[in-house]
Amino acid sequence: MPSYLADILSWHRARAAGDGRPLGELVERAAATPSPRDFTGVLQGGGLSCIAEIKRRSPSKGDLDPGLQPDLVAKQYVAGGAVCLSVLTDADFFGGSAGDLASARQASGLPVLRKDFTVQEADVADARLMGADAVLLIVAALDDGELRGCAALADELGLAALVEVHDEEELDRALHAGSQLVGVNQRDLRTFRVDHDRACALAGRIPSGVTAVAESGIRDAADARRLAEAGYDAILVGETLVRAGDRVAQLRELVGYPVGTR
């Protein structure tokens, strides 16, 4: 059985090892860019929110929409009621780019998450440099020191850090690191299989003061409603929306459900 996460991280860590750019200079340049939009704040209140994702392909499913136009898709997501966007910037495994993020952010006016595999603090600075408002930190991809370092730099640069977990142990690590925005990914990044019950099973372990996001495997209104009832503030939806015949209508079916108490 393939281990997608191991292969992807190996590639990103090899690239990071050859990155000779001084971190201090990167951070200084990043701090001088326009201030990020409020990513976490727009996810709170008003019923279940959606972070709508823009991606061209995935390692497990292959091409989703290789000719996707990020600006047009972003406008469809706005019309459907998305409050944030997630944009894949990984080129080798997902066909994304920094250009996709910039185009989607400009067209939508929404806060945007840089969806990529962060393995070093320079990646956080790069997220701000490319115009992102939030950065993804995958607990399974980072040791505790790396997680804290990347989260601290994100905070310094005004970026939200969506800290992604897959099980109780990873959730405990995220909370111990002080994470205030936690995503529960129902897709096992080692096999890319989806467990549709994972997010609901972990919901009760997420403190009420932490903004909670359910990720992956969200297919329809029934899934969205169930996650809202479990206490999730938001859902992150990619494949379902990218492949939808009517993205606006599909998205409208996924948002606004009353959020239950965790």
- Measure the CA–CA gap between 213 and 84, rounded to whole angstroms: 12
Q: How confident is the model at residue 45 (pLDDT cuts 50, 70, 90)?
A: confident
Would you place residue 226 in the very low, low, confident or very high pLDDT band (cuts 50, 70, 90)? very high
253 is catalytic: no
Query: Are 177 and 143 spatial neighbours (Cβ–Cβ below 8 Å)?
Result: no
Q: Which helix (H) or strand (E) holds 62?
A: strand 62-63
Q: Catalytic pick from 86, 108, 121, 164?
A: 164
Catalytic residue among 53, 121, 170, 239: 53
Active site residue 53: yes
**Residue 239: active-site member:** no
Local structure of 212: helix, strand or coil:
strand
Q: Report pTM.
A: 0.95
Q: Which domain holds residue 151?
A: 4-252
Any domain includes 257:
no
Residues 6 or more apart whose Cβ sits within 8 Å of residue 227: 48, 199, 200, 214, 218, 235
C-beta contacts of 57-65 below 8 A and 24+ residues apart: 57/94, 57/95, 58/93, 58/94, 58/192, 58/239, 59/4, 59/7, 59/8, 59/93, 59/94, 59/192, 60/4, 60/192, 61/239, 63/95, 64/239, 64/242, 64/243, 65/242, 65/243
Question: What are the backbone angles phi and psi of residue 91, rounded to the nearest 5°?
Answer: -85, -45
Active-site entry in 108, 115, 170, 179: 115
Give domain status of residue 8, yes or no.
yes
pLDDT per position as a tens digit, 166-207: 999 999 999 999 999 999 999 887 777 899 999 999 999 999
Q: Residue 104 falls within a domain, yes or no?
A: yes
Is 164 a residue of the active site? yes
Structure confidence at residue 231 (pLDDT)? 97
Beta strand 160-165 with 181-185: parallel, antiparallel or unpaired? parallel
CATH classification at residue 139: 3.20.20.70
**Catalytic, out of 121, 170, 215, 239:** 215
pLDDT of residue 136 exceeding 90, the answer is yes
Active-site option among 49, 55, 103, 121: 55
Domain total in the chain:
1
Is 260 contained in some domain?
A: no
Can 61 be counted among the known catalytic residues? no
Question: pLDDT-based confidence at 12, cuts 50/70/90?
Answer: very high
